[in-house]
Structure 1
Amino acid sequence: MNDNYELQQAVMHGLFDQQKYSGNDMLAPKLLVNSKEETIWEHLLDEFGVCQSFSIAVAFITKDMLTPFKAVMSELAARNVTGYLLTSDYLGFNDPAMFAELLKIPNLTVKITSVAGFHTKGYLFDNGAEKTMIVGSANLTRSAMLANYEWNLRLRSTAQGALFKQLEQQYTAQWHKAFLLTDAWVKDYALHYVTPQLTSKTASPVTKKITPNGMQRQALANLAKLRQNNARRALLISATGTGKTYLGAFDVQAFAPKRFLFVVHREQILEAARDSFRTVIGGSARDFGILSGKRHQTTAKYLFATIQTISKPEVMEQFDPQEFDYLLIDEAHRSGAQSYQRLLNYFQPQFTLGMTATPERTDDFDVFELYDHNIAYEIRLQQALAENMLCPFHYVGVTDYEVNGELLDETANLSRLVSDERVDYILRQLDYYGDTTQVPHGLIFCSRQDEAKELAVLLTQRNHPSLALTNEQSVSQRDAAVKKLEEGQVEYLVTVNIFNEGIDIPCVNQVVLLRNTQSSIVFIQQLGRGLRKYPGKEYVTVIDFIGNYKNNYLIPLALHDDHSKSKDTAKRELAFKPILGLSTISFSRIAKQRIFAALDAVKLDSLHELKQEFAALKQRLGRAPLLCDYLEQNSLDPRVFLENPRLNNYGSFLAKMQEQVCLTKYQNQILTFLCKELAQGKRPHELLLLRLLLQQETVSEQELIAEFDKYGCYHNDQLLNSLDVILGLDFFAIKSGKKIKADEYGGRPLVVHDGFNYQLSPDFKAAVSQGQDFGCLMDDVLSCGLRLNQEYDNKRQFTLYQRYTRKDVCRLLNWSKDLSAPMYGYWVGENECPIFITYRKDEKVVESRNYQNTLANNSAIRWYTRSPRTLESAEVKRLLAVDDNQARQIKLLVFAKRSDAEGKSYTYLGPADILPGSVAEETMPTAKAKPKRVVGMDLKFKQPLPYKQLKYLTGQEDNE
């Protein structure tokens, strides 16, 4: 099928008749809007990724969109792709700084039109024989690209298309009338520039009452519930800049203490904290006092004290131990210090709240134990960005400097780290991605102290005043350096980890990472140094120099707060330039390759990794975590245990962690069955039945169906029969190597069904009565499965775009046996035929299965039977058979995965119909003399694939 024919079909589908013509979503006319599923910027990235040249005409451009735009232009420059940008000075919307930044892009020619009322928004892409235009309402602004409700029409055309020719002519005409953007013009424009007034009247300032946001309301409710349950201490985990001081004030207001004590470690925070509390609580200024080295306002109702002063025995003893009924400790991770321990041992408040952004400690002190393992709330980065609590950021991952093709790593000599060539390279990246019209207020994180000191000197010599800060400087010296950064006396503070936490510099507008990412926690801490909002700061530029480090895989995990330990998830997050609210993430091609290489090399689900996660959560909870705890704490996806081939069940993992778990062999076998077959939650029916049987001796069919209805589950006779063969283990009575699979699960039924009632089998019932460990672990597995099941649509056998293995499909189709082993690409059952497609075949794949499925179309896929097959083959006849109403007798269900690297699971793309007229015998070329016969056909999905599903399955990525 030639490209022009496919384009014709797509155009006719989009503009004439979607039922009559096949619509290739990548070619068809499409309305582009911003939504949770996709953004206009992502579609532009698709076009930039394949174009040979481009032309843009937009009235307005904002500086806050230029960082990700520059990242794209840098990648195009590496491919020798150039482009043209036509814009204007209409209404003075485009400020001089934005024009100055455009001049930095070497492969972009910019012209300014003098046309009055220029209000165009169009993006034209030339890919040789194919052209693409995106026209509509979206300017090149961050809001338009990522958030605003915009309408933009994407049209594709051949080079001869009349509409594209007309658009090109219009662009060319305006281009010739426009004048070239130059330094001289920008300077003159800046000299006469007047900031536009966006409103005709200036409203009088209104003092807005501060009220809790959604996350704060939830945290306050959790704190109130903890106190109702007689909790005396609790911990609030909240990143810098997320309003935890106001949250503390709201809770104190709700508690209404007779006296309140707020303790911090730095005097500079006292006044700001006091003022925030008074803003929320109100009342006389005399009620709010400060206790520090200089001020002793000890009689105030609300007292704000430094730990250095309040912890002195002679100061503490001025107060009765029960003087304060509410104690709040800021930066609570410091509570292990002797000064804090004296304070906490002396005072006896009714309630103590600790607030911190970093509860995990590198020392041996257990912050969670100190606060009775009561975690009131945890505000995460993605949540805070979504709530607009933090300043958006533009992250750019660039490749670090190379010398003769050799990459920097942890063992690099200092001479290489601070060579003139590397420093010049760093400055070129800072200049390109930074805003040279504003004074940088930057933090640079290095790997070593000697590197930090030398780099600060070299940057200063190159007219970028910088200071090195290490743990050798005193607190007063650090404070003095921070003040110089805030006042613009220096541009950069070059440091080695000391600013990971406990420092507040709201003016920071650049974060530069020149070190190996050792942990996700440290990465987020360093990123977070720039995320506090500040007047005039619209966004933060984060530049990460990615070298040859084995820990590079942590970068996408950290940016997405991904604890799943799934390589597939990490690669999906990395692959398509993900976006977080109004923040963007961009990687250069080489940087991305390095991260993919690190992901391929690491075992995210190794026992070492799982042991670390287990230990961290155990410390947080004060006990060994169960599967549901990982879900509740957002710590780890429990499927990493359930699907791990090195673990039989979670009880066996606990035993490896030296936890006391007492299980019989049969109990272990039952747990293995539950973990391996049911706990992923892909259907809830078995879990619900087992849960009922653990609560009551007998469950009638009517009671079970009522439970299904209550839970919103589909049910029919086939489903009830399936429960019998699953819980009776008959489904698994097949050979797996030399063993019968069911024997691994104990070989005996778990449930007996007499046709009317269900009961636990005598063996299973006896196992339940033997010891508490088994009952506890079994309840946890069932609860975990039902929690995971919330991701699925239980009114149907399969949920669109969820992942299933071949064995899952056999079970969920209610088949009596597991036929996954001989199934391969498909299996024609009595009523259904599940089809499993690996879209991009491995080079080593067996030739007889190396069929080139095509899915450039979001509505249909070309699919082939196994070989040898002809139209006369019995199997093919069954596939093509229709009933008296011309409906297919066999229901086709399509499952697909991008490549074998994704493992055993396939994404469910939905039911499909065979397009009339598409069925044909074809030959499949082989290395042998005689080609093999197959039958090919177009399968049309009942529901066209969403943009991201289509994009992921078909996209060519830099690492491949």
Structure 2
Amino acid sequence: MNSLVSNFQSALEHSFIDQSKESSELYKAKLLANQNEDGSFVLNELLDELNTCEDFFFAVAFITESGLMALKTTLSDLAEKGIKGKIITSNYLYFNSPKMFNELLKLKNVEIRITNMEGFHAKGYYFNHKEYETMILGSSNLTIKALKVNCEWNLKINSLLNGDLIYSIKKSFDTMWNASFSLTKEWVENYELNYQPIINTQKLDSTLSPFVLEKEIVSEENASYQTEIITPNHMQKQAIQEIQKIRDEGKKKAIVISATGTGKTYLSAFDVQAYSPKRLLFIVHREQILQKAMNDYQKILGGSNSDYGILSGNQKITNEKYVFATIQTLSKSETLQKYATNEFDYILIDEVHRAGAETYRKIIDYFNPEFLLGMTATPERTDGFNIYELFDYNIAYEIRLQDALKEDMLCPFHYFGITDLQIDGHSIDDKATFNQLVSNERMNYILEKMDYYGYSGESVRGLIFCSRKDEANELELIFNNRGFRTKALTGVHSIVEREKAVKQLENGQSDYLITVDIFNEGIDIPSINQVVMLRKTESSIIFIQQLGRGLRKASNKEFVTIIDFIGNYDNNYLIPIALTGDSSLNKNDLRKKTMGTKYISGLSTINFDEISKNRIFQSIETSTLNSAKNYKEAYRNLKNKIGKIPRLLDYIENDTIDPLLVANYRKNYPEFLKWMKEDIPELTEQETKRLTFLSKELLNGKRNHEMILLNKLIESDNISLFEYTQLLKQYDYTVDTNTLNSVNRMFNLEFFVEKEREKYGNTPIILQKNDIYQLSEEFKQSLKTNSWFKKCVVDLIQTSFKRSERYDLSEVFTYNEVYSRKDACRLINWENDEQSTIYGYRMKYNTCPIFINYHKDDDIANKVKYADELIDRHTLLWYTKARKTMKDATVKAILNYHSNDLAIHAFVQKEVKKASEFIYLGRAYPKIETAKEEVVKDKDGKDTDIVSIEMKLANMVPLETYDFIKQK
């Protein structure tokens, strides 16, 4: 029987008859719903299908700009590949806006038609995959809420080409298509004349309510903004409670860390309202934002204008209750001396990450308020100054970008990382000349992309960041010559000039402001609906600051478009760090988050085109991510934040560097602390070796059996084998003789080669006698006599447990996670570490791990005329070692895997490199009928026998991993 037909039959049986029937994930029917907890969204499936199809069609009644935005990068990539599609939508109920129809017209590879069918409410997505076809049918229209947030049910079904259901669906679509008319610019113009958006309807007919619910109307926060009725949002209420709790404990200082755009100024005003000070001092670093801050306070606190005063430049104050001052004016000695040290009972410092400067310290040292509050979005410092210490480590509240998006506190964004233009075969990079940056060719490309990705609302209000002042000035001329109203602002422009330009943008008298760095922070323009980045990312902090310029909510703004032109820069790896908040310095984690951008919360999306994604991968690979500088900076930042020498567990709890990397940067964590010049207690040589063992072998959390046993023996003198196995069963961990023997061989060091046994202490840590486990006398004495050693061991155990949460420990390996050859030897319970003898694969104890270097080194690849290959996402073409035929004992055993009960595990590494990390693709099952002998050229150019076998993978390779592995 044809293998494809067989796969479909088993999928049909699994989906509709018996779920225990083994089936490929690729073909079985599936319910699609939005589940934010595990990052599962209907949008994910649409993107996966688009990225693997030959052609497609959609029949959807309602489409929004934001829903379309989520697909634009993928549709653009498909256009480059010549893959085309069709979309039928409607003018039913005037749900679809004229602007959305204009956005559809921008799709080069998609033909659009409109149906006048009364009651058209279809929601179907079809994808042709050449050998089979896929349909997604259900409740989701092409709106961002339906694809990511709403409670939606959709059924994903697959069919072979002759299936009756798929035939009926295509026939129905063809009928609708032929009865529809093509979308044109002229039709949109006529449609706009009669357009009556539902959002403006004062009283809605109840019969329309099912459709109206899908309209993405202005949020409650925006409604409050428009009517000036301002009440604390969820975050602000929580923060106010936490600030008050700090005051109730008798503390006089606190710091709030809150992402840009989350309403820090309003938050502070609400707290001032609750505190009711006799006199308030609000300090900012730029005169430009004084008036805005004061106006916001007036909205919350009320009172007469005479209660409010500004201290800046020529503006002086007298006895106003609420004083808003710039740091430059206030820090002058002649100004400061006019006030008593207790003049203000409540002082608030905005953008307090700047407080390490002498001007700030001068003011902080001078005044003695009843309460001091600092606010910042980015407390991390590179100059070593400890902001947290300034506030006695009293962090009242902390909410970062991802959390703020989840809480719907920010305007949703659609980020597009797209490749910058190649000029004469060369990419824009650090060496790009001024003429290249402003060439006609590049300008045409930039304007084309800015138009394609668009913006929310009727007119653009854009902010463009570039790298040089002369570039900003030239871009102003170019944009204006092309019909835009644009102003370049750099450090040479006065506050008055900047304020005028900002007002012109807000009032719609200007389209774009072009700047170098002056708008990274301290500027509030809620109406910005497009941010364009024409510069390399210098730091993740600056990236988030610039991204944040567009994240404030505003009326008539559903989302903000972020267009990042990614050149061939060494530090492109900073982009996923900034977008994800991932400070782990773990290259594999960063690669995974670049591969899969579907983790972003709420209505926002992150999109990279294929070339820019590859550039980021290359940047991660060649980066000095694990440099001494980065380790020192991460350590100092964490120590500054918590006010003490961090434990390893603190790194996880504070979402910073991966503790596995810290502990193993030197022999162990105490050695790392010595390297950081910390004064810590001494350890004996043997204690150091024990900590090295725990750090190198067990801290990774890939199996918890060992740490559970060690943790229990620290709590009690001994534990029986029965008690230990019962404990493992509580966690649903594997309990068998081989696993228990493996645990023993780890602790008595018999698993390791002689050199490592010496490095780890050479004698057992845990002994088993008569089914009783107990610590070795030497280890027990160290725990008893050296409290520092015990503290380090307990920290390693707790951190390992916490780190293990990334793995599914009910299985031997976790699908799509990374393992080394040594990990595999341990986890499949081999008696010894045999990583050095695996050479691609090795069969032992009814297990056979296969390790594949997907992209060989160039000097090898040019000679070897065969290569392992992922044929598709569930099939691996695998080659044995050279000089093997079908008569070879290992080959026979692999082909007879079922009768031998042989477990074959497939691991793949994108390319040969120093780090021996492989992505686990899951269990592999040989397709016996595909096995064949071949004669190929080996690396020396000589003929050699070899056997090729197609392997069916139990798990479908995630599309992001599949693309990552296959890309060169």
Pairwise TM-score range, normalised by the shorter structure: 0.7 to 0.9
For residues 525 and 284 of structure 2, the distance between their equivalents in structure 1, rounded to whole angstroms, comes to 17
For residues 747 and 568 of structure 2, the distance between their equivalents in structure 1, rounded to whole angstroms, comes to 50
Query: Counterparts in 2 of 1:750-789, with a 5 A limit?
Result: 750-752=765-767, 755=770, 760-764=775-779, 774=789, 777-789=792-804
- Give the deviation of 1:600 after TM superposition: 2.8
- Give the deviation of 1:127 after TM superposition: 4.7
Instruction: Judge conservation of contact 2:140–2:147 (CA < 8 Å) in 1.
Output: yes
Q: For this pair of structures, how many residues does the alignment match?
A: 931
One-letter amino acid matched to 1:627: L
Query: Counterparts in 2 of 1:376-395, with a 5 A limit?
Result: 376-395=396-415
Instruction: Judge conservation of contact 1:919–1:938 (CA < 8 Å) in 2.
Output: no
For residues 953 and 69 of structure 1, the distance between their equivalents in structure 2, rounded to whole angstroms, comes to 19
- Give the deviation of 1:14 after TM superposition: 6.0
1:852-903 Cα offsets, whole Å, 9 max, x none, are 677744xx98999989687995997799799xxxxx8958474544645695
For residues 118 and 24 of structure 1, the distance between their equivalents in structure 2, rounded to whole angstroms, comes to 35
User: Of 231, 237, 249, which aligns to 1:210?
Assistant: 231
For residues 288 and 579 of structure 1, the distance between their equivalents in structure 2, rounded to whole angstroms, comes to 49
Instruction: Judge conservation of contact 1:260–1:326 (CA < 8 Å) in 2.
Output: yes
For residues 198 and 535 of structure 1, the distance between their equivalents in structure 2, rounded to whole angstroms, comes to 14
- Give the deviation of 1:189 after TM superposition: 1.4
User: Of 754, 759, 777, which aligns to 1:744?
Assistant: 759
1:9 aligns with 2:9: yes
TM-score (norm 2): 0.84
Query: Counterparts in 2 of 1:709-724, with a 5 A limit?
Result: 712=731, 718=737, 722-724=742-744
User: Of 646, 651, 659, which aligns to 1:638?
Assistant: 659
For residues 146 and 717 of structure 1, the distance between their equivalents in structure 2, rounded to whole angstroms, comes to 43
User: Of 506, 509, 516, which aligns to 2:526?
Assistant: 506
For residues 196 and 509 of structure 1, the distance between their equivalents in structure 2, rounded to whole angstroms, comes to 22
For residues 15 and 718 of structure 2, the distance between their equivalents in structure 1, rounded to whole angstroms, comes to 57
- More displaced 10-residue stretch of structure 1: 459-468 or 903-912: 903-912
For residues 721 and 83 of structure 2, the distance between their equivalents in structure 1, rounded to whole angstroms, comes to 68
Cα pair distance change 1:682/1:168, threshold 3 Å: closer
- Give the deviation of 1:528 after TM superposition: 1.0
1:833 aligns with 2:847: yes
- Give the deviation of 1:688 after TM superposition: 4.7
Report the 3-state secondary structure (helix = DSSP H, G, I; strand = E; otherwise coil) of the residue aligned with 2:550.
coil
- More displaced 10-residue stretch of structure 1: 266-275 or 451-460: 266-275
1:26 aligns with 2:26: yes
Tell me the residue number matched to 2:215: none
Cα pair distance change 1:717/1:462, threshold 3 Å: closer
Instruction: Judge conservation of contact 2:457–2:558 (CA < 8 Å) in 1.
Output: no
For residues 740 and 965 of structure 2, the distance between their equivalents in structure 1, rounded to whole angstroms, comes to 45
Gaps of 5+ in 1: 883-887
User: Of 300, 318, 321, which aligns to 2:341?
Assistant: 321
For residues 132 and 706 of structure 1, the distance between their equivalents in structure 2, rounded to whole angstroms, comes to 46
User: Of 570, 574, 577, which aligns to 1:554?
Assistant: 574
- Give the deviation of 1:507 after TM superposition: 0.9
Report the 3-state secondary structure (helix = DSSP H, G, I; strand = E; otherwise coil) of the residue aligned with 1:54.
strand
Gaps of 5+ in 2: 206-219, 938-942
User: Of 419, 440, 465, which aligns to 1:445?
Assistant: 465
Query: Counterparts in 2 of 1:277-316, with a 5 A limit?
Result: 285=303, 289-293=307-311, 296=317, 298=319, 300=321, 307=327
Cα pair distance change 1:563/1:259, threshold 3 Å: same
For residues 397 and 78 of structure 1, the distance between their equivalents in structure 2, rounded to whole angstroms, comes to 16
Same amino acid, percent of matched pairs: 40
For residues 156 and 695 of structure 1, the distance between their equivalents in structure 2, rounded to whole angstroms, comes to 54
TM-score (norm 1): 0.85
Instruction: Judge conservation of contact 1:65–1:142 (CA < 8 Å) in 2.
Output: yes
Cα pair distance change 1:305/1:755, threshold 3 Å: farther
For residues 528 and 571 of structure 2, the distance between their equivalents in structure 1, rounded to whole angstroms, comes to 26
1:468 aligns with 2:488: yes
Tell me the residue number matched to 2:671: 652
Tell me the residue number matched to 2:392: 372
- Give the deviation of 1:421 after TM superposition: 2.4
For residues 897 and 447 of structure 2, the distance between their equivalents in structure 1, rounded to whole angstroms, comes to 68
For residues 427 and 874 of structure 1, the distance between their equivalents in structure 2, rounded to whole angstroms, comes to 60
- Give the deviation of 1:100 after TM superposition: 1.8
User: Of 148, 151, 154, which aligns to 2:150?
Assistant: 148
For residues 422 and 919 of structure 1, the distance between their equivalents in structure 2, rounded to whole angstroms, comes to 54
One-letter amino acid matched to 1:45: L
Cα pair distance change 1:484/1:366, threshold 3 Å: farther
Instruction: Judge conservation of contact 2:904–2:923 (CA < 8 Å) in 1.
Output: yes
One-letter amino acid matched to 2:661: V
For residues 166 and 598 of structure 1, the distance between their equivalents in structure 2, rounded to whole angstroms, comes to 48
Tell me the residue number matched to 2:500: 480
User: Of 617, 622, 640, which aligns to 1:601?
Assistant: 622
1:145-168 Cα offsets, whole Å, 9 max, x none, are 222233333344455444444333
Tell me the residue number matched to 2:136: 134
- Give the deviation of 1:94 after TM superposition: 1.0
Instruction: Judge conservation of contact 1:851–1:924 (CA < 8 Å) in 2.
Output: no
Instruction: Judge conservation of contact 2:842–2:850 (CA < 8 Å) in 1.
Output: no
- Give the deviation of 1:533 after TM superposition: 0.7
Tell me the residue number matched to 2:208: none
- Give the deviation of 1:540 after TM superposition: 0.7
User: Of 177, 180, 183, which aligns to 1:181?
Assistant: 183
1:840-862 Cα offsets, whole Å, 9 max, x none, are 574859999966677744xx989
- Give the deviation of 1:445 after TM superposition: 0.7
User: Of 379, 384, 403, which aligns to 2:423?
Assistant: 403
1:191-243 Cα offsets, whole Å, 9 max, x none, are 22112258773799999883552x55665565466556664433222122113
Report the 3-state secondary structure (helix = DSSP H, G, I; strand = E; otherwise coil) of the residue aligned with 1:731.
coil
Query: Counterparts in 2 of 1:892-903, with a 5 A limit?
Result: 892=903, 894=905, 896-897=907-908, 899=910
Query: Counterparts in 2 of 1:38-187, with a 5 A limit?
Result: 38-128=40-130, 130-187=132-189
For residues 72 and 240 of structure 1, the distance between their equivalents in structure 2, rounded to whole angstroms, comes to 29
Report the 3-state secondary structure (helix = DSSP H, G, I; strand = E; otherwise coil) of the residue aligned with 2:638.
helix
Tell me the residue number matched to 1:885: none
Report the 3-state secondary structure (helix = DSSP H, G, I; strand = E; otherwise coil) of the residue aligned with 1:42.
helix
One-letter amino acid matched to 1:653: F
- Give the deviation of 1:702 after TM superposition: 8.8
Q: CA RMSD in A?
A: 4.3
1:951 aligns with 2:962: no
Report the 3-state secondary structure (helix = DSSP H, G, I; strand = E; otherwise coil) of the residue aligned with 2:498.
helix
Cα pair distance change 1:349/1:288, threshold 3 Å: farther
For residues 691 and 8 of structure 1, the distance between their equivalents in structure 2, rounded to whole angstroms, comes to 48
Instruction: Judge conservation of contact 1:688–1:707 (CA < 8 Å) in 2.
Output: no
Instruction: Judge conservation of contact 1:891–1:911 (CA < 8 Å) in 2.
Output: no
- Give the deviation of 1:304 after TM superposition: 5.4
For residues 8 and 719 of structure 2, the distance between their equivalents in structure 1, rounded to whole angstroms, comes to 59
